[in-house]
Structure 1
Amino acid sequence: MGTHYLERFFQPRSIAVIGASETPGSVGAQVLDNLVDGSFRGTILPVNPHHRRVRELPCVSRVQALAETPDLAVICVPPRAIHQVVEDCGRKGVRAALILAAGLGEPGTGVKRVEQSVMMTARRHGIRIIGPDWVGLMRPHLGLNATFSRSHALPGQLALVSQSGALTSAVLDWADSRRIGFSAVCSLGDTTDVDYGDVLDYLALDPDTRSILLYVETITDARRFMSGLRAAARLKPVIVMKVGRQQASHRATSSHTGALVGADDAFDAALGRAGAVRVPTVGQLFAAAELLAAGRRLRGDRIAVITNGGGPGIIATDLIAERELQLSELSAATLDTLNEHLPARWPGDNPVDILGDADAERFRNSVSTCLADQGVDGALVILTPQARTEPEATAQALCELDTRRKPVLACWMGGTRIRSAREQFTSAGFPNFATPENAAEALSALSRYRRSQSLLMQVPDASSARSEPDMATAQGIIDAALAAGQTRLTPWQSKSILEAFEIPVSTTVVARSAAEARAAAERLGLPVAVKINSPAITHKRAVDGVRLNVLSGDAVEQAYADILAAVRRARPDVEPDGVSVEPMHTPRHGHEVMLGVVRDPVFGPVISFGSGGSMVEVIRDRAVSLPPLNDFLARDLMVRTRVGRHLRLSEDSRLRREFEHALLRLSDLVCSLPRVTDVDINPVIADPDSGVIAVDARVHIRDSVGDGYSHMAIMPYPRHLTRTETLPDGTRVLLRPIRPEDAAMEEAFIEGLSARSRYYRFMDHMGQVTLPMLVRFTQIDYHREMALVAVDESGQETRQVGVARYVVNPDGRSCEFAIAVADDWQGKGLGRRLMERLMETARDHGLERIEGQVLSANRGMLRLMERLGFSRQRVPGDYSVMQVERALEGHERPAQDYP
């Protein structure tokens, strides 16, 4: 696997400090001091035309005069000189640069012009840039402190990535007082080039990093951010703190969905899809990171609270409930054991109040008894200093307990009397907190991490594969509406698009006279609903434009006249296009539900589900998720709402299946139609007997929003790569990208390979296929990898007969491939066809080279590689393996994927 393109930043062997100085207070002086005083293990190369020596190090006048090409350039010059310095670095062959120059944003410096000029030069020379306007980069175990901060970091296993230099300095000072160490500290600044996604991609595979802390202000490239975040969160805990909780977008007044879903909801949804955990404060950022990095995990949400004070126990109970955790129901056996050890006057339930005179032994017995209960997943132990309390002895007793399977968090409340006990906890690495609020938030973070990771491990059912929508009809409606100058579709147009994606809707007939309205009502069957029909009016009730349960033809005609008169009074600027007439849907047990989509400016479409009707903005019962959805994600979205729990959508039922279908189809709609920006389906009537039907809908559109999937933060399933191939013997086989629903088929394929074929594919005598393996093989990030499966559909059951996959290497320019073909399909030319399509896909993705390793004994594969133009050579030190590779001619690198 190739070297990661950020390796020069995080593992430099030599650093040029351009602008190095001894002038007190200058950026160049502080950076050089930090590198020298930090005992950087590589070579430091000062560059400054005004000095011969700096800090006893030889100094050259310009980059070209350096005796060697440095791995990393740290640029500490005034803004006016940056462009020339970057040009000099490029000519010298430097490929990584940190810009620490101060004053880029000062009036008169032309910050945007400077940045654009610098980035154009950097791209021309293939230089990656971090900065400007940032603090710098630290790798404590290397002695690397390439910052102008006076703060230092201890070596450790936490990586901190921050957009704020001030926050970075404050966090380092805070961490130093608590002896918290770091594997890396990176302050990204303006993220002009290298951003969160790039750094997360590197840290995901960094062996020195066990968990990652992010401080986020803004996201500039959602696709890269999500791709890097998902890759990192699969391998190690990622804890995120985001500030600037924004209000709902400017569309808040144009749809119910827009009023409910804001930018911060989109960010939360993004973290949920990636498997990361969000926390509200710096203290919780470290608390959650330490808990997760130490291997503390919750297997469920049932918490036992053990306390020597009733008040703190009640506080903890409220906090646990507020954070969607639950108090454990202690078993009869546990209560019997507690009764034996506790005074008779203890309350006898959870929270376990062991009373104010509890000594260390009473604490120890009570905690160990609760941990032994199978209904307890974790414990919060609260101590308040009272007359007979033993803070230090009790802390020691807790530290001696086995808490590996069930996390125990300590909350020693107070000040002077418990200070030494808290130091005991810290020295022992035992999680401890000053307040019940902080402890409860840490437990909540563990719970959210468990839930997000469990979602990543879900394997969707193959039955969730869906038929193709009627794209021609949907595209035709949008084309016609845009040609007419519409940005909002009428209810009839909106419902027609929903119908094209098989979302059930009520029949709508547009009537442009009272007589047409009456005829439509009699044809549909009375009673009916009559509503104003105008793309300019979103909230029809606000203009008195709705009449429900109209019972007769005469009443329909009167409703027509009354609605048009009311609308003309309320909106004289609007010329209504008649009314829409719909059959009334008033099922006996019906509930109003809302499905919607709002376009977030950063993360693209956000899907929401929740309580519907005219009071949705008051009830505010909704959950959100980023598309594309699968069946598990759709169910999770439903059960996170009160209406979903009320309708028991977690249970297999007609309602659950129909809502699941509607959400999956809504996901297909927003993935496939980039010109659709917002969708408001409200109300959707849900009845256990008659099922689900959308009664009203409104779709918002706009032109020129990009092509393909550019509007998506998460790359959807690339359907366009599906094709049917005919092999040389006339056999037809379907080649398509793998999807999560293929898990069972993938498992059967691997299990069906002979021992030899398995060994050739995995270079190991692999045993049983595990669930994590299946998830890894089938739930792929199409932005950074691809797997093409060959499917035989000729028999009674669909069968996978081959697979070829590539993963983009850390250098961002090449990929590593693997291929396997079922034993009974070998020799038919399927392997060659799979490899040709895989190389074509990699080339279209902008990759330059494809490489892989093949066992020397696998002569058939080596012959195929030779026919496909691969070169080969033995892997040094392992003569049983051949390295094969070739260039992907005609590759076109997408500008957004640089490098």
Structure 2
Amino acid sequence: MAGPHALSTAFEPASIAVIGASDAPGSVGRMIFRNLMEGGYRGSLYAVNPKYESIQDHPCHRSIEDIGRPVDLAIIATPARVLHSVTAQCGRSRVRNAVIVSATGHTLERRIIETARETGLRLLGPGSIGIARPGSGLNAALTRITVKPGEIALVSQSGAMCSVVLDWALTNGVGFSSVISLGGTVDIDFGETLEYLTHDLQTRYILLYVDHVRNARHFMSALRSAARVKPIILLKAGRHGHADGSTPAAATAALADVVFEAAMRRAGVVRVQNVDQLFFATKALSCGFRPREDSLAIVSNGSGPADLAADRAKDLGTGLVNLGSPTIAALERLGGRERRTHNPLDLGGDASAQLYRDAILALAEDGAVSNLLVILSPHALVDPVEVAQEIIDLAAQVRLKLCCCWMGGGQVAEARTLLEKAGIPVFSSPEAAIELFHNISRFHRSQTLLLQTAGGGSATAWRRSGGARVLVESLLNQRRHILSAMESKALLRSFGIPVTHTTVARDATEALFVAEQVGFPVAMKVDAPEVSSKSESGGVRLNLNTTESVWSAYHDIVDTVRIRHPEAHINGVSIEPYLYRPRARELSIQVHRDAIFGPVISLGPHDASAPRTFALPPLNAVLARDLIDSALPPATQGPRSQPGTLNRSAIEQVLVAVSDLVCELPAVRELEIGPLIVDAEGAIAADARVLIDQGLPAGSDRYAHMAIHPYPLHLVQDWKIGDGRAVRTRPVRPEDAQLLLGFFESLSAETRFMRFMEEIEELSPALVARFTQIDYDREMALIATTLDERGNEQMIGSARYALAEDGGSVEFALVVSDAWQRYGLGRRLMGAIIEVARNKGCRAIFGDVLGKNAKMLRLMQGLGFTVQPHPEDSALRRVVKPLLGK
């Protein structure tokens, strides 16, 4: 049965014990205990220290065990040498959660976590500075800084960064709903904390400072769930490894950071690059600044500052909008003299407050302008305060999102203060203002990728994956880990990727016969699995048109590769048709396994030195398109008739097929398609290389290697009802939006009311997205479909569950089309959704049912649910079924 979140006793404790509380000046225990008392904590507060009878006029206990009653939260502020024994005492005393302030070594960490797990004690830290919930009077943090209440949650692995942000926030009047210092994250980590904050009514925005990620799946799942409803701004350190950038560690760090960036884009998170950007974004969020697009206009009283802003916008890819003809005409009439009227707009050094006002009103009439940056330099003929007051008055009148940059020092200080008090973001440099626009507006771009929740899998890919698994398993049984070109292409072909036909010749004579059979011209490539780059090894010859050239090329290839790679085992030389496509481009698709986020797909030119763009699988067409747009220059995306134009649809299909392959084959460690030859007609893989290993341990979740749960093809089931009609049950996909709308329209008013418990005439776009674009790791929606008389798929039922606030149970919903009731469809759907929840390890499944819905209550009782009174509404019943141990 659902209840409060599992961490509610940690972040909303009814009782707190400070172990190591002290009266000693400058001690950790003294500062934390004082903060709790002075902060107005309203729960039971206990001091624990065998050296004192009382602390700060508060009775003191010799040990946590002397308290004699359970405690929700213990703050452990003791020396590291006694941490293990104190943790054991907390476990024996039924303490639910503990914050470890002290830093520890790895050996001590392991002992502490093992002891805590034996008793169910949850740990925050080590190295945490504690927790603050200022709206509730809770300040259990090691800080001298006053934390004001607000709507922003700060979650950080670094205690130092917590202090930095809190100090800045106090100066700038920014408040927090929560401050949670995770420390070493040996137990409680980002995943569970984000789950809690997602449901926290006091939190509207979330700031994260990340050092490292321990559990990518949990992290990504919770991050994506939270980002759906609350903007998240993230700062991560360690982007470039060592300072000199020359060591292997630096290169590894750089690649890992690129992967992290791809993950954050997919999670719908705004990632900032430095502390200043974090502060600016925090301030903007607290002021309610939410630009929804990148279309930006700039107005200034000088060309220099305006051009600096435009340059920075171009650097970041933030679009400066093209002004419409009516807007340009209106601007040309301003002030009675000629002026520059394109974007950015220069009003001149003598621009008055009235001129600023008229220009902003003219820009507000242009529907293409969404955001406006107003820049002011302290010219002698300009009054910064008057202009600021005009901006404040206009902010409530126009639809534009306004941001200001008042450049200078003392002459603009008063004006800046006025703007800040009015809640308008104001900066001292144009670059900082543009970065804010870019970072905050990027949130909305990220939301588009967030909603693409792994819906690209197909039943065809699922069927094909069976043969591919047999191929991989047979190679692993032979203790093989590197596939030949022929084997690699066979693997690609099994997932529908077009490949060139390849035959391996074992000697020069065989090469002649193969070439004649293939037909000239041919391409010849060394078949040596250990050689990663055939071209660089001298193992490639192209466009061979005669038997003589094939004979010479065979010997030349073998001799050259043996000299350059004497350790390589050469199986022979592969021969394939030479592809002559003068308008084609050679691309490369690669897959590597990141240590944190698992498989990562990258796309770029077939050139080792060229930059690449990365994305986390699973991909669908939308995500594949985004990867293509990021990786390829705009010149490649013109009309099909232009030379060099690429068939983007063909690249999308290959990327989605590669994604399906790595999702369904966890044994694939590395994969490279290169070159992938693409022109206006299509795409074909001319060469491929695949490395495999043993994959997942026996008994693992089939997608345990993925950071983002892909479309669960294995849950697709076909069956027939009693009268012989065929029904398919399958997980919902994002593409099912129209199917869902048709299903909703087919429901009677009574069935709609029973499902939603209120009268709903239509589904909003937000609800449609919510029902079809799901995170399969945290929730599941199975739909039942059949074919109508025209052979079109129609939806006839749905069962779904979502993770409850307690983090261990799930809440279900069930609805069946009126015409398909009484055929056992509801029982079938519920049985399937219950089994999915049980396999996920959920403790229980529950739902709320109208008391007058007798049919649903009978069905639930027949499935083993118990019917209980609803804790909040007498018109409802709560039905509950335990899952563990059943």
TM-score, with structure 1 as normaliser: 0.93
Q: Quick one: which of 593, 599, 604 aligns to 1:599?
A: 593
The aligned length equals 873
Compared CA separation, residues 261 and 564, structure 1 to 2 (3 A): farther
State the AA in 2 paired with 1:229.
L
Q: Quick one: which of 386, 390, 394 aligns to 1:393?
A: 386
Q: Does 1:635 align with 2:625?
A: yes
Which residues of 2 match residues 836-875 of structure 1 at below 5 A?
Answer: 836-875=831-870
Cα distance in 1 between the residues matched to 2:741 and 2:641: 27
Name the counterpart of 2:53: 52
Name the counterpart of 2:693: 702
Tell whether the 8 Å contact from 2:503 to 2:575 is kept in structure 1 after alignment.
yes
Cα distance in 1 between the residues matched to 2:167 and 2:377: 29
TM-superposition CA deviations, 1:151-197 (whole Å, max 9, x none): 23111111111111111111111121111111111111111011111
Q: Quick one: which of 341, 349, 353 aligns to 2:342?
A: 349
Which residues of 2 match residues 786-797 of structure 1 at below 5 A?
Answer: 786-793=780-787, 795=789, 796-797=791-792
Compared CA separation, residues 239 and 650, structure 1 to 2 (3 A): farther
Cα distance in 1 between the residues matched to 2:139 and 2:506: 73
Compared CA separation, residues 591 and 316, structure 1 to 2 (3 A): same
Cα distance in 1 between the residues matched to 2:535 and 2:561: 10
For the aligned residue pairs, the C-alpha RMSD in angstroms reads: 2.5
**What secondary structure is seen at the aligned counterpart in 2 of 1:225?**
helix
Name the counterpart of 1:107: none
Name the counterpart of 2:263: 270
Name the counterpart of 2:684: 693
Cα distance in 1 between the residues matched to 2:285 and 2:618: 28
TM-superposition CA deviations, 1:48-99 (whole Å, max 9, x none): 2222211111112222222542221111222333233233323332212111
Give % identity. 42
State the AA in 1 paired with 2:570.
P
Cα distance in 2 between the residues matched to 1:217 and 1:467: 37
Q: Quick one: which of 381, 398, 419 aligns to 2:374?
A: 381
Cα distance in 2 between the residues matched to 1:47 and 1:472: 61
Compared CA separation, residues 103 and 454, structure 1 to 2 (3 A): closer
Return the offset for 1:552: 0.9
Return the offset for 1:488: 2.7
State the AA in 1 paired with 2:658.
L
Return the offset for 1:301: 2.3
TM-superposition CA deviations, 1:779-838 (whole Å, max 9, x none): 111111111222224752222211111112121221111111111111122212222222
Compared CA separation, residues 786 and 461, structure 1 to 2 (3 A): closer
Return the offset for 1:445: 1.1
Tell whether the 8 Å contact from 2:298 to 2:372 is kept in structure 1 after alignment.
yes
**What secondary structure is seen at the aligned counterpart in 2 of 1:438?**
helix
Tell whether the 8 Å contact from 1:237 to 1:293 is kept in structure 2 after alignment.
no
Cα distance in 2 between the residues matched to 1:632 and 1:877: 42
Return the offset for 1:728: 5.4
Name the counterpart of 2:167: 173
Compared CA separation, residues 633 and 260, structure 1 to 2 (3 A): farther
Tell whether the 8 Å contact from 1:515 to 1:557 is kept in structure 2 after alignment.
yes
**What secondary structure is seen at the aligned counterpart in 2 of 1:617?**
coil
Cα distance in 1 between the residues matched to 2:641 and 2:90: 62
Which residues of 2 match residues 492-531 of structure 1 at below 5 A?
Answer: 492-531=486-525
Cα distance in 1 between the residues matched to 2:116 and 2:454: 44
Name the counterpart of 1:895: none
**What secondary structure is seen at the aligned counterpart in 1 of 2:608?**
helix
Cα distance in 2 between the residues matched to 1:430 and 1:126: 48
TM-superposition CA deviations, 1:590-645 (whole Å, max 9, x none): 111222212111111111222x23xx23332x322111111211111112233465
Tell whether the 8 Å contact from 1:395 to 1:425 is kept in structure 2 after alignment.
yes
Tell whether the 8 Å contact from 2:452 to 2:773 is kept in structure 1 after alignment.
no
Q: Does 1:835 align with 2:830?
A: yes
**Structure 1: runs of 5 or more not aligned:** 105-110, 892-899
Compare 129-138 and 488-497 and name the one that shifted more: 488-497
State the AA in 2 paired with 1:628.
P
Cα distance in 2 between the residues matched to 1:869 and 1:490: 54
**What secondary structure is seen at the aligned counterpart in 2 of 1:326?**
coil
Cα distance in 1 between the residues matched to 2:238 and 2:213: 12
Q: Does 1:323 align with 2:316?
A: yes
Q: Does 1:885 align with 2:880?
A: yes
State the AA in 2 paired with 1:443.
F
**What secondary structure is seen at the aligned counterpart in 2 of 1:5?**
coil
Q: Quick one: which of 438, 447, 470 aligns to 1:444?
A: 438
Name the counterpart of 1:419: 413
Name the counterpart of 1:897: none
**What secondary structure is seen at the aligned counterpart in 2 of 1:342?**
helix
TM-superposition CA deviations, 1:538-577 (whole Å, max 9, x none): 1112221111111111101100011111112212222311
Which residues of 2 match residues 12-161 of structure 1 at below 5 A?
Answer: 12-100=13-101, 102-104=102-104, 111-161=105-155
Cα distance in 2 between the residues matched to 1:781 and 1:462: 13
Compared CA separation, residues 282 and 819, structure 1 to 2 (3 A): same
Return the offset for 1:389: 1.7
TM-superposition CA deviations, 1:406-436 (whole Å, max 9, x none): 2111011111111111111111110111211
Tell whether the 8 Å contact from 2:584 to 2:646 is kept in structure 1 after alignment.
no
Cα distance in 1 between the residues matched to 2:495 and 2:254: 23
State the AA in 2 paired with 1:73.
A
Cα distance in 1 between the residues matched to 2:184 and 2:6: 19
Cα distance in 2 between the residues matched to 1:64 and 1:401: 63
**What secondary structure is seen at the aligned counterpart in 2 of 1:224?**
helix
Q: Does 1:817 align with 2:808?
A: no
**Structure 2: runs of 5 or more not aligned:** none
Cα distance in 2 between the residues matched to 1:150 and 1:788: 52
Return the offset for 1:245: 0.9
**What secondary structure is seen at the aligned counterpart in 2 of 1:468?**
helix
Compare 396-405 and 627-636 and name the one that shifted more: 396-405
Return the offset for 1:886: 2.1
Return the offset for 1:440: 0.9
TM-superposition CA deviations, 1:702-741 (whole Å, max 9, x none): 2244442111001112222222345456554322222222
Compared CA separation, residues 705 and 462, structure 1 to 2 (3 A): closer
Cα distance in 2 between the residues matched to 1:157 and 1:889: 37
Tell whether the 8 Å contact from 1:221 to 1:602 is kept in structure 2 after alignment.
yes
**What secondary structure is seen at the aligned counterpart in 1 of 2:874?**
strand
Compared CA separation, residues 651 and 422, structure 1 to 2 (3 A): farther
Q: Quick one: which of 670, 685, 704 aligns to 1:678?
A: 670
Name the counterpart of 1:432: 426
Name the counterpart of 1:297: 290
Q: Quick one: which of 462, 472, 493 aligns to 1:468?
A: 462
Name the counterpart of 1:108: none
Q: Does 1:571 align with 2:565?
A: yes
**What secondary structure is seen at the aligned counterpart in 2 of 1:786?**
strand
Name the counterpart of 1:896: none
Name the counterpart of 1:657: 649
**What secondary structure is seen at the aligned counterpart in 1 of 2:277?**
helix
Name the counterpart of 1:647: 637
Tell whether the 8 Å contact from 2:524 to 2:576 is kept in structure 1 after alignment.
yes
Cα distance in 2 between the residues matched to 1:353 and 1:478: 65
**What secondary structure is seen at the aligned counterpart in 1 of 2:433?**
helix
**What secondary structure is seen at the aligned counterpart in 2 of 1:618?**
coil
Cα distance in 1 between the residues matched to 2:639 and 2:622: 12
Compared CA separation, residues 253 and 18, structure 1 to 2 (3 A): closer
Return the offset for 1:260: 12
**What secondary structure is seen at the aligned counterpart in 2 of 1:541?**
coil
Compare 339-348 and 551-560 and name the one that shifted more: 339-348
Name the counterpart of 1:626: 616
Cα distance in 2 between the residues matched to 1:730 and 1:541: 59
